[in-house]
Structure 1
Amino acid sequence: MSMHSKPSPGPLEQLIRKNIADTFKPTVLLIENESYKHRHHAAMRDVDSTETHFRVTVVSEMFSGQSRIQRQRLIYSLLKAEMAMEGGIHALTLVTKTPEEYDIVPVVPKPDIS
Protein backbone atom coordinates (compact mmCIF):
# COMPACT_ATOMS: atom_id res chain seq x y z
CA MET A 1 0.00 0.00 0.00
CA SER A 2 1.48 3.36 -0.98
CA MET A 3 1.64 6.32 1.37
CA HIS A 4 -1.35 7.95 -0.31
CA SER A 5 -3.64 4.96 -0.79
CA LYS A 6 -6.74 4.81 1.35
CA PRO A 7 -7.05 1.90 3.77
CA SER A 8 -9.96 -0.49 3.41
CA PRO A 9 -13.06 0.48 5.38
CA GLY A 10 -13.02 -0.98 8.87
CA PRO A 11 -15.93 -2.78 10.51
CA LEU A 12 -17.37 0.36 12.11
CA GLU A 13 -17.25 2.29 8.83
CA GLN A 14 -18.93 -0.63 7.08
CA LEU A 15 -21.65 -0.67 9.75
CA ILE A 16 -22.20 3.08 9.41
CA ARG A 17 -22.48 2.68 5.63
CA LYS A 18 -24.96 -0.20 5.90
CA ASN A 19 -27.17 1.50 8.50
CA ILE A 20 -27.35 4.79 6.60
CA ALA A 21 -27.85 3.09 3.21
CA ASP A 22 -30.59 0.80 4.52
CA THR A 23 -32.42 3.61 6.35
CA PHE A 24 -32.06 6.63 4.07
CA LYS A 25 -31.62 5.03 0.61
CA PRO A 26 -29.17 7.81 -0.31
CA THR A 27 -28.29 8.78 -3.86
CA VAL A 28 -24.88 9.85 -2.53
CA LEU A 29 -23.13 8.46 0.54
CA LEU A 30 -19.57 9.53 1.27
CA ILE A 31 -17.84 8.35 4.43
CA GLU A 32 -14.38 9.60 5.27
CA ASN A 33 -12.54 8.14 8.24
CA GLU A 34 -10.63 11.11 9.67
CA SER A 35 -9.49 9.35 12.84
CA TYR A 36 -5.81 9.59 11.93
CA LYS A 37 -6.06 13.39 12.14
CA HIS A 38 -7.09 13.21 15.79
CA ARG A 39 -4.75 10.56 17.26
CA HIS A 40 -2.72 13.24 19.07
CA HIS A 41 -5.72 14.71 20.93
CA ALA A 42 -5.75 14.14 24.67
CA ALA A 43 -9.10 12.32 24.55
CA MET A 44 -7.67 9.82 22.04
CA ARG A 45 -4.37 8.98 23.78
CA ASP A 46 -5.56 5.72 25.34
CA VAL A 47 -7.92 4.73 22.52
CA ASP A 48 -6.77 1.88 20.29
CA SER A 49 -9.59 2.22 17.77
CA THR A 50 -8.76 3.60 14.33
CA GLU A 51 -12.43 4.39 13.71
CA THR A 52 -13.38 7.29 15.97
CA HIS A 53 -13.83 10.34 13.73
CA PHE A 54 -15.91 10.39 10.56
CA ARG A 55 -17.07 12.94 7.99
CA VAL A 56 -20.30 11.67 6.43
CA THR A 57 -22.20 13.14 3.50
CA VAL A 58 -25.72 11.82 2.92
CA VAL A 59 -27.94 12.90 0.03
CA SER A 60 -31.45 11.53 0.41
CA GLU A 61 -34.97 12.37 -0.68
CA MET A 62 -36.01 11.51 2.89
CA PHE A 63 -34.54 14.85 4.03
CA SER A 64 -37.10 16.86 2.05
CA GLY A 65 -38.96 19.30 4.27
CA GLN A 66 -36.58 18.83 7.20
CA SER A 67 -34.18 21.33 8.70
CA ARG A 68 -30.46 20.62 8.91
CA ILE A 69 -30.84 19.94 12.64
CA GLN A 70 -33.71 17.47 12.10
CA ARG A 71 -31.65 15.61 9.49
CA GLN A 72 -28.64 15.39 11.78
CA ARG A 73 -30.76 14.20 14.69
CA LEU A 74 -32.07 11.35 12.52
CA ILE A 75 -28.54 10.20 11.78
CA TYR A 76 -27.34 10.62 15.36
CA SER A 77 -30.32 8.56 16.51
CA LEU A 78 -29.55 5.88 13.93
CA LEU A 79 -25.90 5.67 15.05
CA LYS A 80 -26.59 6.02 18.79
CA ALA A 81 -25.22 2.56 19.66
CA GLU A 82 -22.05 3.12 17.61
CA MET A 83 -21.49 6.44 19.38
CA ALA A 84 -21.97 4.89 22.84
CA MET A 85 -19.76 1.84 22.40
CA GLU A 86 -16.21 1.68 23.76
CA GLY A 87 -13.85 2.72 20.96
CA GLY A 88 -16.82 3.77 18.85
CA ILE A 89 -17.61 7.05 17.15
CA HIS A 90 -16.13 9.98 19.08
CA ALA A 91 -16.91 12.68 16.51
CA LEU A 92 -19.22 12.79 13.53
CA THR A 93 -19.25 15.60 10.99
CA LEU A 94 -22.41 15.50 8.90
CA VAL A 95 -23.43 17.03 5.58
CA THR A 96 -27.06 16.24 4.81
CA LYS A 97 -28.76 17.31 1.60
CA THR A 98 -31.72 16.53 -0.57
CA PRO A 99 -30.96 15.58 -4.19
CA GLU A 100 -32.17 19.03 -5.28
CA GLU A 101 -29.82 20.77 -2.82
CA TYR A 102 -26.97 18.56 -3.96
CA ASP A 103 -27.62 19.46 -7.61
CA ILE A 104 -27.24 23.14 -6.73
CA VAL A 105 -24.11 22.73 -4.57
CA PRO A 106 -22.55 19.28 -4.88
CA VAL A 107 -20.28 18.09 -2.10
CA VAL A 108 -16.95 16.63 -3.07
CA PRO A 109 -14.59 14.82 -0.74
CA LYS A 110 -11.88 17.01 0.73
CA PRO A 111 -8.45 16.20 -0.69
CA ASP A 112 -6.08 14.60 1.76
CA ILE A 113 -3.13 17.01 1.91
CA SER A 114 -1.45 15.54 4.97
Structure 2
Amino acid sequence: MEYATRMRRKLTDALAPERLDIQDDSGRHAGHGGAHPEGETHFHVTIVSAAFAGKSRVERQRLVYGLLAQEMAERVHALGLTTLTPEEAR
Protein backbone atom coordinates (compact mmCIF):
# COMPACT_ATOMS: atom_id res chain seq x y z
CA MET A 1 0.00 0.00 0.00
CA GLU A 2 1.24 3.49 -0.78
CA TYR A 3 2.41 5.59 2.14
CA ALA A 4 0.14 8.50 1.23
CA THR A 5 -2.84 6.12 1.34
CA ARG A 6 -1.78 4.75 4.72
CA MET A 7 -1.34 8.25 6.10
CA ARG A 8 -4.72 9.35 4.75
CA ARG A 9 -6.46 6.37 6.35
CA LYS A 10 -4.84 6.87 9.75
CA LEU A 11 -5.45 10.61 9.87
CA THR A 12 -9.04 10.25 8.70
CA ASP A 13 -9.83 7.52 11.22
CA ALA A 14 -8.27 9.36 14.16
CA LEU A 15 -9.07 13.01 13.43
CA ALA A 16 -12.19 13.04 11.22
CA PRO A 17 -10.83 16.01 9.25
CA GLU A 18 -12.98 18.48 7.37
CA ARG A 19 -10.08 18.85 4.96
CA LEU A 20 -7.05 16.66 4.36
CA ASP A 21 -4.49 17.33 1.66
CA ILE A 22 -1.43 15.13 1.35
CA GLN A 23 1.16 16.32 -1.13
CA ASP A 24 4.12 14.13 -2.11
CA ASP A 25 7.05 16.52 -2.48
CA SER A 26 9.64 13.77 -2.93
CA GLY A 27 10.49 14.78 -6.49
CA ARG A 28 11.72 18.14 -5.24
CA HIS A 29 14.16 16.41 -2.88
CA ALA A 30 15.88 13.95 -5.22
CA GLY A 31 19.46 13.46 -4.11
CA HIS A 32 18.79 14.82 -0.61
CA GLY A 33 19.23 12.77 2.52
CA GLY A 34 16.48 10.23 3.04
CA ALA A 35 15.25 10.42 -0.56
CA HIS A 36 14.42 7.22 -2.43
CA PRO A 37 14.21 6.97 -6.21
CA GLU A 38 10.69 5.52 -5.83
CA GLY A 39 9.51 8.64 -3.97
CA GLU A 40 7.13 8.78 -1.01
CA THR A 41 9.78 10.14 1.34
CA HIS A 42 8.91 13.85 1.62
CA PHE A 43 5.34 15.00 2.23
CA HIS A 44 3.38 18.08 3.21
CA VAL A 45 0.08 17.51 4.99
CA THR A 46 -2.60 20.14 5.47
CA ILE A 47 -5.29 19.01 7.87
CA VAL A 48 -8.32 20.85 9.22
CA SER A 49 -9.91 19.13 12.19
CA ALA A 50 -11.98 20.01 15.23
CA ALA A 51 -9.71 17.61 17.12
CA PHE A 52 -7.08 20.38 17.19
CA ALA A 53 -9.29 22.77 19.19
CA GLY A 54 -7.60 23.90 22.39
CA LYS A 55 -4.24 22.43 21.38
CA SER A 56 -1.07 24.40 20.70
CA ARG A 57 0.73 24.11 17.37
CA VAL A 58 3.29 21.80 18.98
CA GLU A 59 0.59 19.59 20.53
CA ARG A 60 -1.13 19.31 17.15
CA GLN A 61 2.09 18.34 15.42
CA ARG A 62 2.95 15.79 18.11
CA LEU A 63 -0.50 14.26 17.67
CA VAL A 64 -0.03 13.88 13.91
CA TYR A 65 3.55 12.61 14.23
CA GLY A 66 2.34 10.06 16.78
CA LEU A 67 -0.34 8.80 14.43
CA LEU A 68 2.19 8.48 11.60
CA ALA A 69 5.10 7.10 13.67
CA GLN A 70 5.21 3.82 11.74
CA GLU A 71 5.41 5.57 8.36
CA MET A 72 8.12 7.89 9.68
CA ALA A 73 10.13 4.92 10.94
CA GLU A 74 9.79 2.96 7.70
CA ARG A 75 10.13 5.40 4.84
CA VAL A 76 8.87 8.94 5.32
CA HIS A 77 11.92 11.14 5.86
CA ALA A 78 10.31 14.59 6.03
CA LEU A 79 6.79 15.63 6.95
CA GLY A 80 5.70 19.25 6.79
CA LEU A 81 2.46 20.04 8.59
CA THR A 82 -0.23 22.68 8.49
CA THR A 83 -2.70 21.89 11.28
CA LEU A 84 -5.81 24.04 11.65
CA THR A 85 -9.15 24.02 13.40
CA PRO A 86 -12.19 24.67 11.19
CA GLU A 87 -12.42 28.19 12.64
CA GLU A 88 -8.80 28.94 11.73
CA ALA A 89 -9.33 27.66 8.20
CA ARG A 90 -12.16 30.10 7.46
Please, what TM-score do these two structures have when normalized by structure 2?
0.94
The aligned counterpart of 2:16 is 25
RMSD: 1.3
Q: Which runs of 4+ in 1 moved over 4 A?
A: none
More strand as a share of residues: 2
Q: Which has the larger radius of gyration?
A: 1
Q: 2:46 aligns with which of 57, 61, 67?
A: 57
SS at match of 2:54: coil
The aligned counterpart of 1:94 is 81
Please, what TM-score do these two structures have when normalized by structure 1?
0.75
- Once the two structures are TM-superposed, the CA of residue 84 in structure 1 deviates from its matched residue by 0.6
**Identical aligned pairs, as a percentage?**
43
- Once the two structures are TM-superposed, the CA of residue 44 in structure 1 deviates from its matched residue by 4.0
Q: For 1:65-112, what per-residue CA distance to the aligned partner results, in whole angstroms no more than 9, with x for missing partners?
A: 000000000000011111111xx1100000000000000xxxxxxxxx
Q: 2:26 aligns with which of 35, 41, 63?
A: 35
Unaligned stretches of 5+ residues in structure 1: 1-9, 104-114
More helix as a share of residues: 2
Structure number with higher relative contact order (C-alpha < 8 Å, ≥ 6 residues apart): 2
SS at match of 2:79: strand
